[in-house]
Each structure stands twice: as C-alpha cells, then as structure tokens.
Chains A and B, each alone.
Chain A
Amino acid sequence: MTQDRIIEALLAFIENDDASDEEFDALALTLFAWQFEHNEPYRRFCQQREKTPRRIKSWRDIPAVPINAFKDLTLSCSDPEQAERVFMTSGTTQGGVHGRSYHADIRVYDASMIANFRHRFMGEYDRIRMGILFPDEIAMPNSSLAHYLALAKENFGTDDSHYLLTEDGIDQIRLLTELAHAETSGEPYALLGASYSFVHLLDEMRTMGESAELPPGSRILDTGGFKGQSRELDLDEFYTQLSSTFYVPRDLCINMYGMTELSTQFYDWGNRTCPSVKSGPHWIRTRAIDPLTGEDMPHGETGVLVHCDLAHFNIVSTILTEDAGIMVEDGFLLLGRADGAEAKGCSMAVAEFLKAARN
C-alpha cells in the first residue's frame, strides 16, 4: 500500500454516500495497518497494549490515542518535515504546549471538509455571502480552524464575502455595512466563526444598540466554545441572543464540533434545543467509553468520546478526546470537558499542584 493508493481510496470513500458498515470497517483496518507500520510512536503505543493489526477485527478495537499525546509525540506516517500543512492546537488548555497534526497531503482534509460542509451547512444554496469572525490563514497558518474557514469562504462564499476581524478586534464598519447590505438587499447572509468571537460580537452589538434583521435563509456557524476567551454563556442563552440579535432562527444556528486532532467535523441540525445532537458523515464514527476500561458505556450513559476519523489518515485515525458525551439515536450529545474532578479529600490533584507549583 502506498500513500497515493490510500488517498485514492479515501477520496473515493468520501464520495460514496452508500458506504456500508463493512466497507467502513475494512478501510479503518487498512488504515490502522498502514499507521501501525509507518507511525512508529503509535506502533509502540499499540504494542504496549498488545493490539496489533492481526488482532484487530473492528474499528471499535483500534487503540485510541489520547489527544494529550499529540503534544509529546510526533505522530506521522510520513516525514513530518515534508508535511504539506501542520495544524497546531492553541495550547490554551495545555499550559502553552501545542499538539500537532501533520498533514502529508491536505487534499483528503479538504475533501472531507467540503463534502460535509455542503451537506450540513449550505442547505439549498451553492454559495452564500459570508462574514467570518476569525483571522485568515495568513495570520494563523497553523490553525486548522483558519484553514477550515478559508475553505468555506473559497468554496461556498460569494465573491463579496469578507473577514470581519482585524488585529484590533471586530471591524465594526465592515460589519455594519455587511449587515445593512443584507437587510436592504434581502440576500441571505452567513456569519461564521469561533463561539467566543460571537460573544464579543453580541457585546458590541449591544453596546452600539444594534440588531440586524437578516433575511430568510441567513445562517450562523459557531465552533469551539468559549475557552476562557470571552464570558462563559449558557448555551441556551447564547443561541437565544444570537437568534434575537440577528433574526436567525435557532434551527439555522449551527454548531460545528471539530478538533485539530481530526480531519472531519461534526455538526448539529441547529440549536432549537440544547445540548443538540451532533453527528458526522459516513467516514467518521464515534463511541462513548469508560476512560479507564475503554469499554463502551451502556446506552444513554455519559462517557468520554472516541472518534475514528478515516480522513485523518497520516496521523492516527482513532483518538480519545477529553470530551464527555452520550450516544443517542442519530449521533451524540456533547457535554463539555470530562476532566478536572474536584479532589474528594485533602490530597492534591494534578491540576491544582501544577497551579500551586507555578505560584
């Protein structure tokens, strides 16, 4: 198997909406064998757990790499120096250390993003005028979200789509011009960006005493949560405010759940109720597990999410997140981070120790 053949198979699989469970499993196992062979730290990780390609029969058995490992290990099936793109985590939740994902060939990431975005966000439109509340790829070349949003703008935005952030924050004049244009022209408008940027936007709109009656068909995409970069808003409150400020029904306020450690994103079908059900396309699968045993949680019980993303072929396809969730019909509920238990006694927990030791 060569990298070209893998890419070819993946691109075909992404195109194939009718792919069966067996086909998913087959490709997942092929990729596992490929990664086991070419990704040395991952091979050692698997060997330590006595999981080798010979012993794995289903995607569910593939050892999931904790996302923390992306900081410590160079996980790549090809020379990382030759990677076409390297995406890094922001490091905000990891003490400034960045996790890295090496993309040997960005075509698979792009194909995954484009097919899925069209299906989950665009509705009946081929293109829509966009305002993006995030820096562009020149400002943030190692941000997977910057790349994602650039793909959105390039493939689905009209020519007069714009970035609405400058180095000093939200470009108010541009923003108000865009909103006014949408209101007068009746042309649907899409706002996309980091969740915390939307909080800043809501605050600015309130300060200016502004709201905008965006035309029917307009939509909003937020992602990533607040991460301590803005006020923490209750999700219900967040979508209520978005909806009332921009006249976008909560059905069209879409939340995207993505990670630097993946090449595929999850979406909900709007946020009429929170937490919304998230789901992904046919080339990604999710389990909710007991983090200690690795076993699936009983149906309806909270576990830690594991994703098997075929599109993340050059790194590792199966990762263990730090996100809590519940598997439901048609997807999963995302419930926030699953770590940082309060110490039950008077012994010091790791997080508190690190903090105390820094003081």
Chain B
Amino acid sequence: MASAIERAGYLPGLAPDEVEWQTLAFDRAGAPLEIAVPVLSDAQMAALAARVREASRQCLKPLPVARIIDIIDAAIARLLDRTDPWRRQAEELLPAITGYDSEMIRLGLTEYLKTFRKPQLTRFVAEDFANPQSLDDFQPLPKGGFARAFGPDLLVHIWAGNVPGLPLWSLISGLLVKAGNIGKVPSAEPLFAGLFARLLAEVAPELSDCFAIVWWKGGDSAREAALLREADTVLAYGGNDSLTALRDRLPLTTRYLAHGHKVSFGMVAKDALDTRKAWDAAHKAAYDVVRYDQQGCYSPHLFFVERGGKISPREFSHYVAHELASFQQKFPRRPLSLAEAGDVAAWRHGEEMKSLAGPEREIMSGAAGAWSVSYSEDTDDLAPSGLNRTIRIVAVDTLADAVPRIAPYKALLQTVGIAATPRELFRLAAILGAVGVTRISALGRMTAPEAGWHHDGRFNLLDLVTLTEIEQSAETAADSFAPYVD
C-alpha cells in the first residue's frame, strides 16, 4: 500500500526539501489520495532549465538514436511487467486520481505502452525520417550535399487532461530527437509523467538530467513565463482559449506546436449492418465511447449510420445502447463532478426536448444517467456529445451525405472510425481527408492510435527538429582547402 501522500514531478538537481510543495487532493474512487506537486521559484525554474538544456547537449545529443530507443524500450518493458513496482504504482494510483475504472486503466495502459516498444519506436522514427541516421550524423541528400536533424536543446511540454499516459507521446518524441525536455503536468493527472521520468532515470542514470517534470497551477502566468522564456520549442495541449493565450505570451522566435481539443466521430456503412456483423459493430462503437469516457481527442461524439442494411440505423442505436449498458457493468463510468454531471444532464435534457418534437428521434439512457444514446434521423449537424458516455446516432441515406455537414468544422476534426467495405473505405477517406479528417481507424480502435501515427496529421518528430544542411558548394569548396589538395 502506498503512503497517503505521493510526490509528483521529477526535478534533477533539486532536493525535495529545497522545493515548496502543494497538495492536490483526489477522491474519485472513494479512496482519498493526496499528491504533492512542486511549486518552483523563478530561480529554481531557470536553474532547472539550464541544467536540462546543458545535459541534453552533453549527454543526449551524442547518443545514437538507436541507443535512445533501447533505453526507452527498457523503461517501457518495466511498465509492461505487472509485477514491477513502477507498474504496480501506476495501476494503483491512476484509478484513484482519474476515477477511471481500474481494469479499464490496466488494459488501456498495456495496450498503450506496447506502442513504445523497440520495434514500434523504430517504426515511429522511420515514419518521419527516411534515413533515421540523420538524427545522428550528416547524411547525404538526393539533391546533393548533406543534412543532419537537430532537436531543440529545451523542449517544453504543456500537458492537459486526465487520460492516463498521454504525456508519453510527446515526451518520448522529444527524447527521440534528443531534446532536453521539461514537461508541465496538469492538475487533473499530475502523476504519471513524473513516474515515467524517475523510471527512465533509474534505467539510464547517464540521462537523468536530460528531462524534468514540473507543475504550476493553471493560470499562474508568472511561473509559466519563467519556464517559457527558456524554451526553444513549446508543445502544448489544451482548449483553444488557453492555447491562444499561451501563444500570445511566447517570444516570436520560440517554435510553438499546439494541439487543440478535437472532435471525432464514426461511420457505419450498410454493409456492416447485417444481423451478424451489426452486433459486432455496435460493440466496438460502444467500446470507443466507453474508453476513457470520451475524454480523448480521438473519442467519438456521434456515429453516422447508413440506411439500407438489414439492421436499420434505429435498431443499431438500440444495439449500441445495449452494449453501453453491459459495458457499464464491466467498466463503470468514473464518478462525475457536479459540473460534469450538470453538463451531461443538460445535454440529455436538450436531446429529450428535441425528441418531444416527433417520432424521428429517440433517447435511451442507463440507470442514474450512466450512459445515453440519442437517435435521430438526418436532421443533425455535427455537434459534440455531452461526453462521459453520451453518444448521438444519426441515420443517413448514404455516408457521403454526412460529409457536407462536417465540412464547416474542418479545423476541429480528427479521427473517424469506419466500418465499411474496402472500396467504400477508400472512397470515404478521400472525401473525409479533403474536409480535414486526419486519422481513419477501425471501429473499436478509435482510442488506440497505432505506433507512429501522425497526431492531427502532423509529423510528431519532424516538426520538432531543424535541419542543418551542408550544401554541395561548401563540400566542393572545402576540397580546395584540404591539406592533401594538389
């Protein structure tokens, strides 16, 4: 049993008693837990930034990327081992912090961590770099000359939300390009990033100064500024308002990569709606809804369901309701705050009001509002669900009919989970891509992006580096200065 107070963060060079700590209380799953988070002074933050920057130059930049992959792989192996103390700590504390069902976290964690094993990381690098060695040394370019990719000395991550493990994507991306990393954890889940950092330092003590995990209270712009002014590159997650505010506070020369909140949805073609396959599709669609209670940017808000199959869209919505009810037994929804419950209730009431207007709508809800399905015919534009297991199902004549409705939201779209024939899949992908969708997955896989995916359609690693090119002219000119020149 862990002690009641856990320390979050990872602060190389700073002893715990040199730092001020603030306590965050969690009582999500009926097991009260307190997490102490560090509150650094400006001077401490500056010193930390200098230390990480310097260590990344000295210790990380000279390492071949293959060696970095080996180190991450070794750390991930520890987290995949359910008997390992680090893994046990994560399994014990994450449910208490986030309120998500512990079995869902356990399964989700394993599935997620598998994407960071050596073969997957090698593929991750190869996705972005045709020649991964260009992270280690100058490599010849087809146009002539040579190029080498340099990661930033100090990459600052601003993380948000409570989906367990999410910070690993960007932290590992930063490590792969040999950046010094300082990540700011959100109050909603302050623990896991620091845990991973400490594990990494244990696996590779030589890198222990190359990263740090800090915290400040959201909106504490003084502390935020103390770190941001040191950053070469800032990678931030969050809502559009906070991302805009952050951008406005950055120096023009700081590279800024923002991942705003996104909307995702699903599409079920009539070919997936025969009596046998429809249950499977409904099960998978419900699973995408249940996983982390729709808190992910890849989580579905609605499903467009095509008419003309053996199972009608309305029947399909009943199937999904049934599956959500049975998932509630297996993976109960996390306890909601009053504000969240209010949002869910408001959404459901809104749908109820619309359903009073006529028979083309129907709303189904679980006991105590544990889930809700709102079925409608044709009339709905893309609109988000109330989150926390509330889903809209919209019947359409053809799936392509749905596309004009989502087109206005181009900047907000991310994942589409599709159940359709191969021909239909590629036809839909073409028109969805054109209106801004960046990821298409199978139903049931919406919340588990594969290794090396391009988050929001961007290059996770390439976006972090700058290339230094030796043009052919320099190479040729150098020849004339060689000691062996004739």
- A302 — which chain B residues lie within 8 A by C-beta? 338
| Contact of A346 with B347 at beta-carbon distance under 8 Å, contacts A48-B355, A292-B341 already known | no
- Our pick among A48, A72, A73, A349 for the contact of B343 (Cβ within 8 Å) is A349
B299 lies within 8 A of A347 (CB): yes
Chain B CB count within 10 A is highest, among A48, A324, A342, for: A342
B294 lies within 8 A of A45 (CB): no
Question: Does B438 count as interface, using CB distance less than 8 angstroms?
Answer: no
- Our pick among A322, A350, A352, A357 for the contact of B239 (Cβ within 8 Å) is A352
- Our pick among B163, B336, B353, B354 for the contact of A346 (Cβ within 8 Å) is B163
B261 lies within 8 A of A352 (CB): yes
Q: How many A-B contacts are there with CB distance less than 8 Å?
A: 144
| Contact of A66 with B349 at beta-carbon distance under 8 Å, contacts A346-B237, A352-B261 already known | yes
- Our pick among B294, B297, B339, B356 for the contact of A341 (Cβ within 8 Å) is B339
Complex: chain B residue closest to A292, CB-CB: B369
B161 lies within 8 A of A343 (CB): yes
The residues in B between 106 and 164 inclusive whose CB is less than 8 angstroms from any CB of A are 160-163
Complex Cα spacing A353 to B299, Å? 15
| Contact of A344 with B356 at beta-carbon distance under 8 Å, contacts A290-B341, A291-B345, A292-B341 already known | no
Which of B78-86, B248-256, B379-387, B417-425 lines the interface with chain A? B379-387
Question: Does A345 count as interface, using CB distance less than 8 angstroms?
Answer: yes
Question: Does B409 count as interface, using CB distance less than 8 angstroms?
Answer: yes
Question: Does B57 count as interface, using CB distance less than 8 angstroms?
Answer: no
| Contact of A45 with B412 at beta-carbon distance under 8 Å, contacts A304-B342, A347-B294, A353-B384 already known | no
B347 lies within 8 A of A343 (CB): no
A350 lies within 8 A of B297 (CB): no
Question: Does B346 count as interface, using CB distance less than 8 angstroms?
Answer: yes
Question: Does A6 count as interface, using CB distance less than 8 angstroms?
Answer: no
A345 lies within 8 A of B161 (CB): yes
Q: How many residues of B contact A (CB 8 A)?
A: 54
Complex: chain B residue closest to A351, CB-CB: B343
A339 lies within 8 A of B339 (CB): yes
Complex: chain A residue closest to B292, CB-CB: A345
Complex Cα spacing A346 to B169, Å? 14
Closest approach, in angstroms, between the C-beta of A55 and any C-beta of chain B? 18
- A303 — which chain B residues lie within 8 A by C-beta? 338
Q: How many residues of A contact B (CB 8 A)?
A: 37
Question: Does A286 count as interface, using CB distance less than 8 angstroms?
Answer: no
Bits for B354-378, please: 1 = Cβ < 8 Å to A, else 0.
Answer: 1110000001000011000000000
- B241 — which chain A residues lie within 8 A by C-beta? 352
Question: Does A1 count as interface, using CB distance less than 8 angstroms?
Answer: no
- Our pick among A48, A290, A304, A345 for the contact of B297 (Cβ within 8 Å) is A345
| Contact of A349 with B384 at beta-carbon distance under 8 Å, contacts A338-B338, A356-B412 already known | yes
B239 lies within 8 A of A347 (CB): no
A353 lies within 8 A of B369 (CB): no
B408 lies within 8 A of A357 (CB): yes
A338 lies within 8 A of B339 (CB): yes
B353 lies within 8 A of A348 (CB): no
A346 lies within 8 A of B160 (CB): yes
Question: Does B259 count as interface, using CB distance less than 8 angstroms?
Answer: yes
Question: Does A177 count as interface, using CB distance less than 8 angstroms?
Answer: no
- Our pick among B163, B292, B296, B342 for the contact of A339 (Cβ within 8 Å) is B342
Question: Does B89 count as interface, using CB distance less than 8 angstroms?
Answer: no
A343 lies within 8 A of B341 (CB): no
Bits for A155-193, please: 1 = Cβ < 8 Å to B, else 0.
Answer: 000000000000000000000000000000000000000
Complex: chain B residue closest to A357, CB-CB: B409
B346 lies within 8 A of A72 (CB): no
B338 lies within 8 A of A346 (CB): no
Complex Cα spacing A344 to B261, Å? 11
- B350 — which chain A residues lie within 8 A by C-beta? 68
- A357 — which chain B residues lie within 8 A by C-beta? 408-409, 412
- A345 — which chain B residues lie within 8 A by C-beta? 160-163, 166, 292, 294-297, 299
Complex: chain B residue closest to A43, CB-CB: B356
| Contact of A68 with B349 at beta-carbon distance under 8 Å, contacts A341-B342, A347-B294 already known | yes
A69 lies within 8 A of B353 (CB): yes
Question: Does A44 count as interface, using CB distance less than 8 angstroms?
Answer: yes
Complex Cα spacing A174 to B70, Å? 80
Complex Cα spacing A352 to B261, Å? 9
A350 lies within 8 A of B292 (CB): no
Question: Does A93 count as interface, using CB distance less than 8 angstroms?
Answer: no
The 4 closest A-B pairs by CB, nearest first: A345-B295, A292-B369, A291-B345, A341-B339
Query: What would 17 more interface pairs be, CB under 8 Å, given A292-B368, A344-B188, A350-B347?
Result: A66-B353, A68-B349, A69-B353, A73-B356, A291-B344, A292-B341, A339-B343, A339-B346, A345-B292, A345-B296, A348-B261, A348-B297, A348-B301, A349-B261, A349-B384, A352-B261, A356-B240
20 contacts between A and B (CB under 8 A): A45-B353, A72-B353, A291-B369, A292-B344, A303-B338, A320-B345, A320-B349, A322-B346, A339-B342, A339-B343, A340-B343, A341-B339, A345-B297, A346-B160, A346-B262, A347-B262, A347-B264, A347-B296, A349-B261, A352-B261
